[in-house]
């Protein structure tokens, strides 16, 4: 199986990442409504290229992960939070998600973080299995936090030490 190449994002990735994000939209993972034109830019004031790692296969971007601080507090600066992870549908099941998750943990360690956390919807089985298999554990559940696609869905808080 080809090994994905993981690198930091660059401003030139705007279009490819915006398209990937829109094409992979699903109520399985998204809490925002399906994007409609005119589309918001992928990079913005809060999240720029340095906050993203991208995965390439055959020179094409097939996935990304967004890494952020959970808050702007100095006393919380030892923690990083994954605030977005997506793999293009046609590239799923080939280890791209796992490669991105490992890379983002390495990047967090490189930045000196001690912990990494994330939030995942209770019904998102593929993502939950992936996170569990990489050592993340459930640290909290907000029951029925979201009403999506006609039903209430839990918000699951996961994390691990680095
Ligand atoms: C979740 C997601 C990133 C996984 O990406 P991927 O490249 O397909 O994942 P990988 O091929 O690296 O799979 C790694 C592990 O994830 C789990 N997994 C992946 N797809 C799965 C599925 N459909 N059902 C159950 N487990 C699954 C498995 O544990 C798998 O390990 P295995 O191959 O040894 O069984 C991808 O499905 C995706 O982009 N989903 C939509 C966006 C999303 O849900 N993001 C997470 C938001 S919190």
Q: How far, in Å, from the CA of 40 to the mean position of ligand 1?
A: 26
pLDDT digits over 9-56, tens only?
999 999 999 999 999 999 999 999 999 999 999 999 999 999 999 999
Instruction: Evaluate: CB of 35 within 6 angstroms of ligand 1.
Output: no
Determine the 3-state secondary structure of 21 from DSSP: helix
Closest residue CA from atom 5 of ligand 1: 97
Q: How far, in Å, from the CA of 88 to the mean position of ligand 1?
A: 11
pLDDT digits over 113-158, tens only?
999 999 999 999 999 999 999 999 999 999 999 999 899 999 999 9
The number of CA neighbours under 13 Å toward the Cβ of 133 is: 12
Q: How far, in Å, from the CA of 25 to the mean position of ligand 1?
A: 15
Exposed, middle or buried: residue 110 (CB in 10 Å: 0-12, 13-18, 19+)? exposed
Closest residue CA from atom 20 of ligand 1: 126
Residues composing the chain: 162
Ligand 1 atom closest to the Cα of residue 98 is 12
Pocket test for ligand 1, best of 25, 31, 83, 97 (most atoms within 8 A of CB): 97
Q: What is the percentage of the chain residues whose pLDDT exceeds 90?
A: 98
Q: What is the pTM of this model?
A: 0.97
Instruction: Evaluate: CB of 29 within 6 angstroms of ligand 1.
Output: yes
pLDDT digits over 51-103, tens only?
999 999 999 999 999 999 999 999 999 999 999 999 999 999 999 999 999 99
In terms of Cα–Cα distance, which of 153, 101, 91 is closest to 130?
101
In terms of Cα–Cα distance, which of 87, 157, 85, 154 is closest to 117?
157
Instruction: Evaluate: CB of 120 within 6 angstroms of ligand 1.
Output: yes
Residue 1 has pLDDT above 90, yes or no: no
């Amino acid at each position: 199986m080809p090994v994905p190449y993981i690198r930091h994002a660059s401003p030139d990735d705007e279009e490819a990442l915006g398209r990937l994000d829109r094409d992979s939209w699903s109520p399985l993972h998204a809490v925002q409504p399906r994007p409609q034109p005119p589309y918001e830019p992928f990079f913005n004031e809060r999240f720029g290229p340095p906050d993203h790692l991208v995965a390439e296969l055959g020179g094409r971007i097939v996935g990304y992960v967004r890494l952020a601080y959970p808050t702007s507090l100095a006393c919380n600066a030892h923690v990083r939070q994954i605030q977005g992870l997506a793999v293009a549908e046609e590239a799923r099941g080939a280890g791209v998600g796992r490669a991105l998750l490992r890379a983002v943990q390495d990047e967090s360690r490189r930045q000196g973080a001690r912990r990494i956390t994330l939030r995942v919807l209770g019904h998102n089985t593929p993502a939950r299995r992936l996170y569990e298999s990489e050592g993340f554990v459930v640290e909290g559940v907000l029951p029925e936090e979201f009403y999506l696609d006609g039903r209430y869905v839990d918000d699951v808080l996961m994390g691990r030490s680095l």
